Structure 1
Amino acid sequence: MTATVLVPGMLCDADLWSGVELPDAVHAEITAPTITGMAEQVLAAVDGPFTLVGLSLGAIVGFEVVRLAPERVTALCAISTNAAAPTPEQRAGWRSMDERTASGGFEAVVRDDILPTMFAEPGHDDRFLGMARRVGPDTFRAQLAAQATRTDAFGVLASASCRVLTVCGSGDALCPVGFHRRIAEAVPDGRGRLRILPGAGHLLPIERPRVLAGLLNEWLNEH
C-alpha cells in the first residue's frame, strides 16, 4: 500500500495527527528555512510514491513537493491553507514575529499572535501550546523564514496530474473557505475536490479528528 506522509503546520508536531487514524502513515518534519528545503525533507521521509496530507504550512510545502517531484505524489490533501503568494501585510507580520521571538518573546508571540487564529471552539489551547513549546523558537524562526519564500502555487495545481482534496473549516479565521475553493477549482479535469467542515477552525485534526479521519480514509480508499 502507498504510504501517507503527514506534514504538520507551523508550530505543530506529530501530535497534531494523534487523533486521525490513517493507514501506513509517515510523519515528516519541516524545519528548513525555505519552502524548497522543507519539500526536500518531505521527499526524504519515505521512498517511492506516496500520498501527501499537509495542513497549513505543511500543505504549502506539499504544493512545492508536487512541483519538484510530481511523479512521486499519487494524491494530495491540502488542509486549512493558502496557495497564493504572500501579501506585504503577511511578510510584515512574519518579520515582526521573528524580531520579537529573537528578543525572547516566543511565548508572547505564540499566545497573542498565533493561538487566537487556531480554533473556532474553546478547549484546545493547551494542546497547541504544548506542540509549540516542543517545536521551540529556533524552528519557529526557520518556519517564519520559509514562509517568506512562498510563491503562488496555482500554476502547480493547474498542471498537477494527481487528485487533490482540499479541506477547511467554515470558521477558519486564518484561511477562509474562499482560499480552498480556489485550490479545488485550479485542479484540471475535475480532479480537485473541496470539503468544508461546519463550525470548525484552522487546526481541523484537533477540532474535528474523527470527521477528518473519516473523510480522509474514504478519499484514500477511492485512490
Structure 2
Amino acid sequence: MERRVEGRTESRLAGAERAELILIPGLLNDAELWRDQVSGLSGIATCHVADITEGRTLRELAQSVLADAPARFALAGFSLGGYVAQEIARLAPDQITRLALLDTSFRPDTPERLAGRHALNKAALAPGRFHGFGDRLLTTYLDPSHVADERIVATIRGMTERLGVETFVRQNGIERKDGIDVLRSLTCPVMILCGENDLVTPLADHGEMARLVPQAKLVVIPGSGHMTPLENPAAVTEALRDWLLEPNQGP
C-alpha cells in the first residue's frame, strides 16, 4: 500500500497511549536531524535520539542503542540508522512494538561499494579541511528545490562540523548487511518512507522493501530527496504520527 503525504496537520491524539520512540539518525547526523519530529510528536511519544557515532559494526551500534532502550519501544531509523534498526530487529525483535525505515536500504555491501567507501575514507583523511557535505554532494542528497535552502544546508553542515572526520570514517567503514531475512520476519506495524526524488536510496528500493513485509505501508514524501526529516519535516512528522497511532494487531 503506497501513500503520499503532503504535510497536513491533523489532531487524533485524544486517548492515545504515549509511546516510547527511539529515533536513529544517519551518517554524520546527530539529534538535530530529528528536531522537528521530536517537537511535533511530543504529545504522543517520549522521544529518544540514539547516538551511533562510536561503534565499528552494525552489531556494536545496535547493542549500544539497546543498552539504553526501554523494555518496549517503537523504532525509527534513517539512512545508516535504518541498517542499525534492522540489526536491532535481529537482536531484540520482541522489544520492538513497531518499526519505521526512512530513506535507507536492505541491500548488503558489494565489493564495489566497499571499495568506494574505502576511497572516500582515504580522501577524508587526507591533509586539509574536512568538508563533509560539499556543494556537489548536496545536489545528490537534496531535492533540486532545496539545494539553495540556506536553513537546510546550514543544518546539514552544522551536523557535519560537530561530528567531524573521525566519526565519518568510522560510520562510513561499517559493513552494511543483507536485510531480507529480518524484513520478512517482522510482525509489528511497519512503515517504509522515502523521498520522492531520493537519489541515494531510491524509491524503487523502498518499494522492494515494502513488498518483503506483508503489513508494511509505503509512504512517499513529495518534493524531497534523501534528507526527508529536514526537507519536509511536517510530512515526515505526520507520517510518523499516523504510524505511532496505528493499532498494533501483531503478536
Q: TM-score, normalised by structure 2?
A: 0.83
- The counterpart of 2:179, out of the listed 141, 150, 153, is 153
Secondary structure at 1:15's aligned position in 2? Answer: helix
Matched, 1:166 2:192: yes
Partner of 1:18: 35
Q: Which residue of 1 aligns with 2:166?
A: 138
Give 5+ residue unaligned stretches, structure 2: 1-17
C-alpha change, 1:4 and 1:216, in structure 2 (3 Å) is same
- Secondary structure in structure 2 of the residue aligned to 1:86: coil
Give the Å deviation of 1:161: 2.1
Report the identity percentage. Answer: 34
CA distance in 2, matches of 1:118, 1:55: 13
- Aligned-pair CA distance for 1:113: 6.4
- Secondary structure at the residue paired with 1:75? strand
Q: Which residue of 2 aligns with 1:116?
A: 139
Residue by residue over 1:75-128, the C-alpha shift from the partner in whole angstroms, topping out at 9 and shown as x without a partner, is 110000110111333212210111112223562453166433221022122210
- Counterpart of 2:189 in structure 1: which amino acid? R
Q: Which has the larger radius of gyration?
A: 2
Answer yes or no: is 1:37 the counterpart of 2:36.
no
Q: Does the 8 A contact of 1:106 with 1:137 survive in 2?
A: no
5+ long unaligned stretches in structure 1? none
The equivalent of 2:203 in structure 1 is 177
Question: Larger helix proportion, structure 1 or 2?
Answer: 1
Note the alpha carbon deviations across 1:22-62, whole angstroms, 9 max, x for none: 22100101021111111112112322011111100001100
Letter in 1 for 2:159: M
Letter in 1 for 2:141: M
Correspondence for 1:200 among 224, 227, 247? 224
- Structure 1 residue 63 and structure 2 residue 86: aligned? yes
Q: Which runs of 4+ in 1 moved over 6 A?
A: none
Matched, 1:104 2:130: no
- Asked if the contact 2:83/2:177 (under 8 Å) is kept, the reply is no
Residue of structure 2 equivalent to 1:213: 237
